[in-house]
Amino acid sequence: METKAGDPGAFAQFDLNRVDSPSFVVDAAKLRENLRILADVRDRAGIKVLGALKAFSMWPVAPIIGEYLDGVCTSGLWEALLAGEYYDGEIATYCAAYKPEDLDEICRLSDHIIFNSPQQIMRASAILENSRMRGNDFSIGLRINPMHATGEVTRYDPCAPHSRLGFPIDQLQAEHLEGVDGIHFHTLCEQTLEPLKETWDKVFDHIEPYFDQLQWLNFGGGHHITRADYQRDELVEFLQDVKDDTDCEIYLEPGEAVALDAGILVGTILDSHWNGMPLAITDVSATCHMPDVIEAPYRPAMLGEEQGGAGKPVRLGGPSCLAGDVIGDYLLPMECQPGARFAFLDQAHYSMVKTTTFNGVPLPSIWLWDSETDTLEQVRKFGYRDFRDRLG
């Protein structure tokens, strides 16, 4: 899988030695730029945009997100609790399966509760009714599976064969939408407009008979709206047409687009040697800090890499015992020697939220930088107790 981002932006001028290593550094100015783009699309199209916490849940920047977006979408009780505590606006919660003991609190916190199947809604009906009797106000949504795969990587495609995510659209009947206020589908991953239009064409015929009873449609996430090549004007026209055709409130739930190119992961070379090619061991771990590098797999872009240079590529790997803890081969922008600093680009989303302490590898610190004012603050530094207290 090839990364669709990696623009260094203001990070090209950032001194990597200003922070400890390893560290995530998030640029508040780039975050605001992304959010302004999303808000502009929202305003011109007359829709609502929610930020996906599953991709980027760095809550110290929640006030910035609240300035631009209509709220957030969450993936279960803990994210809903985080949203209720720190984020402004609406909360839409979807989980592939809810635990009954979590639902009551989710009902209290959420404006939309989206279920993965009609059977789940039926089983939860008593909990939902009791919650409403206590004064909680929320609407019910059903996630559908459009059964139209468009993703580059099967494991990230919710429409892959035998997917557990969403109710298969070819099974949808009128009785499945009794008491349902909205339809949700999420099929994209780092994609532009055409796959969304294709998916909507597939969905339209199946749900057109129910437009009169539906209040909202949620097109999920995976929209790379803030990417330079995204067709934003065409997206606005498309969303306006959907609103006119359905008379529904339309929601988008971008995750990556909120923090695209807004963060880097700074690391240090710890050792280097030769085994058929130059090798370097770093304090950045693919398995602990950037698991999508192994899962996708993909090769993250490096700040300042010498594209097409004459030097020999160096294979970078992490400090863990996992043989596959390999990040990739790079033409380094500096000499490969212990103590040298480097940074991987576009690491704010789906890296920060996935870090682990496998092997006792330390978690990266978190820094917030504003490239417009050059202010820099350490938001969090992790220590031994963060590792120790996870399991006892």
Q: Looking at the chain, how many residues does it have?
A: 392
Q: Are 259 and 51 in contact (CB under 8 A)?
A: no
User: Domain boundaries in the chain?
Assistant: 9-25+262-388, 46-259
Query: Which CATH superfamily includes the segment(s) 46-259?
Result: Alanine racemase (3.20.20.10)
Residue entry with tokens 């030695």: 17
pLDDT at residue 181 in the model? 98
2 three-class SS: coil
Q: Which residues pair with 139 in a beta bridge?
A: 112
Name residues whose C-beta falls within 8 Å of residue 289's C-beta, 6 or more positions apart in sequence.
22, 265, 318, 351, 355, 361, 363, 364
Distance CA 59, CA 56 (A): 9
CATH, domain 9-25+262-388, list 3.40.50.40, 3.40.1690.10, 2.40.37.10, 2.40.50.1070 = 2.40.37.10
> What six digits make up the tokens of 81?
């609790």
pLDDT in tens, the chain (392 residues): 677 777 999 999 999 999 999 999 999 999 999 999 999 999 999 999 999 999 999 999 999 999 999 999 999 999 999 999 999 999 999 999 999 999 999 999 999 999 999 999 999 999 999 999 999 999 999 999 999 999 888 888 999 999 999 999 999 999 999 999 999 999 999 999 999 999 999 999 999 999 999 999 999 999 999 999 999 999 999 999 999 999 999 999 999 999 999 999 999 999 999 999 999 999 999 999 999 999 999 999 999 997 766 689 999 999 999 999 999 999 999 999 999 999 999 999 999 999 999 999 999 999 999 999 999 999 999 999 999 999 99
Q: Are 345 and 20 in contact (CB under 8 A)?
A: no
Angle at 376 between CA 374 and CA 380, to 5 degrees: 160
User: What is the pTM for the complete model shown?
Assistant: 0.96
Cα-Cα-Cα-Cα dihedral sign, residues 260, 261, 266, 272: positive
Give the closest residue to 248 by CA, choosing from 220, 215, 206, 218.
215
Q: Are 120 and 103 in contact (CB under 8 A)?
A: no
The region, left, alpha or beta by phi > 0 then psi within -120 to 50, assigned to residue 122 is alpha
